C-alpha cells in the first residue's frame, strides 16, 4: 500500500479488521444464505413488508370459543401457549391444531423460570413431551416463558427453536436472540387495547421490515389476566386482512422457521435453456423441523408469456407480480424438497396455468396511505383485459400512467413514486373493459 500519510494504512487495516469481525459475527448467528442471480429470497413470505404473530397464553376458555373461530374466519394462524398442569382442553387444542394453529409450551407449572427452586429441565422438557403426546399433526417447537421471566436460554434452545418474552419491542427481520423474542401485552393491563393500537405497532413493523408479536390472555368478560376486547381484536384482524399483501400474519413458529430458513437457504440455477430453468433450493437445517416454504422470485424471462412450475415433478403454485415495471415469477418452495422446474408454457394465459385467478377485477387500497414519497398500488384482473392504471390530481388531470396494456388474469402491484409532485390528494384510477374504480391517495410531506 502506497501512502503519503504514515497513519493511514494503520487506520485502513483497522477498518478491514472491523469488517472481518462483523462478518464473523454475522456468520455466527447463522447467515449462510447463497442466492444465484437473478433470484431473490423474500424477507417475509410473499415479499410482504412485515410479519405479525398473535400469541395466546394460559388457555382461557374464550381463546377456543372466540379467538380460534375468529382467526379461522380470517384465515390467520395463531399460537396457543399451554400450561400442562392447568388441565388444558386438549380436544379444543387439537381442533385448533387441525386448523393450522400452533399449540406450544407455556411450561408444566407456570413457575417463573430462573428462580433457584425451579427445575427448568422438567418445566421445559416435560411440557414439550406432553404436547407432542397429546397433539397430533405438529411438533411443539416454541415456548413462552411464564410471567415473562427469561429461563436458562442454553437449556431452552436444546428443546425449542424460539422463546417469547414480553418486553414490548418490535423484532428486526432477523432477531438478535431467538430465545428472547419480544412481544406486546394486549388488553386492559397492556399497551395494546384498541384496534388502532394493534395497527400502529403493525405500521411500525413495516417501517423496519420487522416482526411484531402480540400477547393476549383473557378475552372479553371472562376471568383471566388483562382481558382483550374481541371487538377490538376483530378490528385489528380486519385491518390486517385489508392489507394482506403487506402483512404476513402467521404463527410464532412459522415466522421463526421462516427467518432461519431464509437466512440459511441456497438457491442455485443448475440448468437453463430457452424453455426450461431448473433450480435447486437447499438449506443445512434439519428437515424434520425446517420444512416451511420460503418465497422466491425471479424476473419472468422476456419471451415467456406463461409458466408451469413443478417441484419433484409435482405442480406448485406461483404468481406473476409486477414491481417497478418488472414482471416477476413468485413462488413458495420447501428447501430440500427436490429440484424445481420453471417451464415456458404455451397456455394462453398466465392465470390459467400458473396464477390463482382472482374472482373479480378490482383496485385495492394503496399502501401506505398517506405516503411519502412512494406507495404501492395493487389491482387484480379476473379475465384478460386491456388495463389502464393512472394517477390523477385533485382537478382530475392525469399526472402519471402506470399501466396501459393487455393484462392476463392475476394480481399485480405497481409502485408510484410521488417525488417531485406537490403534497396533496391524488386519485388512482383503474380502468378495464368491465368498468372503472378509483381510490383516493394522500401524499403528505
List residues near Zn ion by CB under 5 A: 57-58
Characterize the bridge pairing of strands 142-144 and 435-443: unpaired
Nearer to Zn ion, 162 or 350 (CB): 162
Q: How far is the CB of 136 from Zn ion (least distance, A)?
A: 25
Nearer to Zn ion, 57 or 283 (CB): 57
Dist. CA 107–CA 98, nearest whole Å: 22
Characterize the bridge pairing of strands 314-315 and 307-311: antiparallel
182: left (phi over 0), alpha (psi -120 to 50) or beta: beta
Q: How far is the CB of 164 from Zn ion (least distance, A)?
A: 10
Dist. CA 409–CA 435, nearest whole Å: 16
Q: How far is the CB of 250 from Zn ion (least distance, A)?
A: 22
Q: How far lies 243's CA from each of 11, 49, 58, 376, in Å?
A: 48, 10, 30, 11
Nearer to Zn ion, 58 or 123 (CB): 58
Nearer to Zn ion, 224 or 409 (CB): 224
| Cα of 243 vs its chain's centroid, Å | 12
User: The dihedral of CA 322, 328, 329, 331: what is its sign?
Assistant: negative
Do 391 and 402 contact (CB within 8 A), yes or no?
Answer: yes
In the numeric block, the cell 431464509 is attached to 262
Nearer to Zn ion, 216 or 389 (CB): 216
Among candidate residues 39, 46, 41, 50, the one with its CA nearest the CA of residue 264: 41
Dist. CA 163–CA 252, nearest whole Å: 9
Q: How far is the CB of 110 from Zn ion (least distance, A)?
A: 6
Nearer to Zn ion, 170 or 215 (CB): 215
Do 336 and 330 contact (CB within 8 A), yes or no?
Answer: no
Q: How far is the CB of 233 from Zn ion (least distance, A)?
A: 18
Q: How far is the CB of 355 from Zn ion (least distance, A)?
A: 43
In the numeric block, the cell 413514486 is attached to 417
Q: How far is the CB of 100 from Zn ion (least distance, A)?
A: 23
Nearer to Zn ion, 226 or 337 (CB): 226
Dist. CA 441–CA 369, nearest whole Å: 6
Q: How does DSSP classify residue 75?
A: T
Q: How does DSSP classify residue 367?
A: B
Q: How far is the CB of 217 from Zn ion (least distance, A)?
A: 7
Strand, helix or coil for residue 414: strand
Q: How far is the CB of 153 from Zn ion (least distance, A)?
A: 18
Q: How does DSSP classify residue 347?
A: -
Nearer to Zn ion, 165 or 206 (CB): 165
Q: How far is the CB of 106 from Zn ion (least distance, A)?
A: 5
Nearer to Zn ion, 57 or 102 (CB): 57
81-109 as b/e, with b when 16 or more CB fall inside 10 Å?
Answer: bbbbeeebeeebbeebbeebbbbbbbbbb
Rg, C-alpha atoms of the chain: 24
Nearer to Zn ion, 187 or 418 (CB): 187
What residue number has its CB nearest to Zn ion? 57
Amino acid at each position: 500500500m502506497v501512502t503519503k500519510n504514515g497513519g493511514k494504512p494503520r487506520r485502513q487495516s483497522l477498518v478491514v479488521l472491523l469488517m472481518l469481525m462483523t462478518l464473523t459475527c454475522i456468520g455466527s448467528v447463522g447467515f449462510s444464505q447463497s442466492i444465484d442471480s437473478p433470484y431473490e429470497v423474500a424477507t417475509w413470505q410473499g415479499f410482504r413488508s412485515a410479519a405479525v404473530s398473535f400469541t395466546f397464553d394460559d388457555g382461557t376458555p374464550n381463546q377456543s370459543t372466540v379467538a380460534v373461530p375468529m382467526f379461522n374466519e380470517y384465515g390467520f394462524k395463531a399460537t396457543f401457549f399451554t400450561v400442562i398442569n392447568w388441565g388444558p382442553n386438549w380436544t379444543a387444542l387439537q381442533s385448533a391444531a387441525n386448523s393450522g394453529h400452533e399449540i406450544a409450551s407455556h411450561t408444566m407449572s407456570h413457575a417463573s423460570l430462573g428462580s433457584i427452586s425451579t427445575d427448568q429441565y422438567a418445566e421445559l422438557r416435560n411440557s414439550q413431551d406432553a404436547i407432542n403426546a397429546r397433539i397430533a399433526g405438529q411438533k411443539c417447537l416454541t415456548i413462552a416463558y411464564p410471567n415473562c421471566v427469561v429461563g436458562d436460554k442454553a437449556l431452552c434452545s436444546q428443546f425449542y427453536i424460539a422463546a417469547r418474552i414480553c418486553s414490548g419491542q418490535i423484532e428486526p427481520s432477523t432477531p438478535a436472540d431467538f430465545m428472547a423474542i419480544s412481544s406486546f401485552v394486549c388488553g386492559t393491563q397492556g399497551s395494546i387495547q384498541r384496534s388502532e393500537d394493534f395497527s400502529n405497532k403493525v405500521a411500525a413493523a413495516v417501517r423496519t421490515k420487522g416482526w411484531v408479536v402480540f400477547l393476549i390472555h383473557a378475552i372479553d368478560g371472562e376471568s383471566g389476566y388483562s382481558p382483550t376486547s374481541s371487538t377490538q381484536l376483530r378490528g385489528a384482524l380486519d385491518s390486517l386482512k385489508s392489507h394482506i399483501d403487506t402483512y404476513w400474519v402467521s404463527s410464532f413458529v412459522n415466522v421463526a422457521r421462516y427467518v432461519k430458513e431464509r437466512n440459511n437457504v441456497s438457491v442455485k440455477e443448475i440448468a437453463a435453456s430457452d424453455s426450461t430453468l431448473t433450480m435447486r433450493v437447499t438449506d443445512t437445517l434439519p428437515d424434520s423441523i425446517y420444512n416451511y416454504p420460503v418465497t422466491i422470485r425471479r424476473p419472468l424471462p422476456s419471451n415467456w408469456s406463461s409458466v408451469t412450475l413443478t417441484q419433484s415433478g409435482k405442480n406448485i403454485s406461483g404468481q406473476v407480480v409486477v414491481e417497478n415495471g418488472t414482471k416477476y415469477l413468485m413462488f413458495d418452495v420447501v428447501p430440500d424438497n427436490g429440484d424445481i422446474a420453471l417451464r415456458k408454457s404455451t397456455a394462453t394465459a398466465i392465470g390459467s396455468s400458473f396464477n390463482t385467478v382472482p374472482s373479480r377485477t378490482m383496485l385495492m387500497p394503496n399502501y401506505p396511505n398517506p405516503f411519502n414519497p412512494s406507495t404501492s398500488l395493487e389491482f387484480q384482473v379476473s379475465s384478460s383485459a386491456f388495463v389502464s392504471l393512472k394517477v390523477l390530481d385533485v382537478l382530475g388531470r392525469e399526472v402519471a400512467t402506470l399501466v396501459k396494456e393487455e393484462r392476463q388474469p392475476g394480481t399485480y402491484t405497481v409502485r408510484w413514486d410521488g417525488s417531485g409532485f406537490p403534497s396533496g390528494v391524488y386519485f388512482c384510477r383503474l380502468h378495464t373493459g368491465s368498468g372503472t374504480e378509483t381510490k383516493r391517495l394522500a401524499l403528505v410531506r
